[in-house]
Amino acid sequence: MSRPSDLIQGTLDLLILKTISTEPKHGWAIAKRIQHVSDEALQVTQGALYPALHRLEQQGWVSAKWRKTETGREAKFYQLTKAGAAQLEKELAQWERLSNGIGLVIRLA
């Protein structure tokens, strides 16, 4: 089918929201974090990352502020909003339901 992507279509929002749920992070750090935490299974390219962040911001699920990183550079920090937290819950539930459904098909074919 398509190229061996390192992302499951439609799960990026979930991944981003979850990744900033503990504390605000900037885009670059979010991508690195997802890669690292997933044990390198997932990879977030910049072409997917930034559009996704802008989408989330437009939906009001994250808010952005320019700030300095620990290394002294300017970066845009994204923070989960209240609506974003609610959305995260929804997406988590959706993911559980659907991925579990796929698990059933795989096991019971």
Number of residues binding to DNA, judged by CB under 7 A: 32
According to CB under 7 A, which residues from 78 to 107 bind DNA?
none
Instruction: Tell me how far apart the alpha carbons of residues 88 and 76 are, in angstroms, rounded to a whole number.
Output: 21
Draw the binding track, 20-59, toward a copy of itself (x: CB under 8 A; -: no contact): -xx-----------x--xxx-xx------------x---x
- Tallying the residues shown for the chain, one arrives at 109
φ, ψ at 59 (rounded to 5°): -75, -10
In whole angstroms, the minimum distance from the beta carbon of 36 to DNA comes to 12
Minimum CB–partner distance for residue 43 and a copy of itself (Å): 9
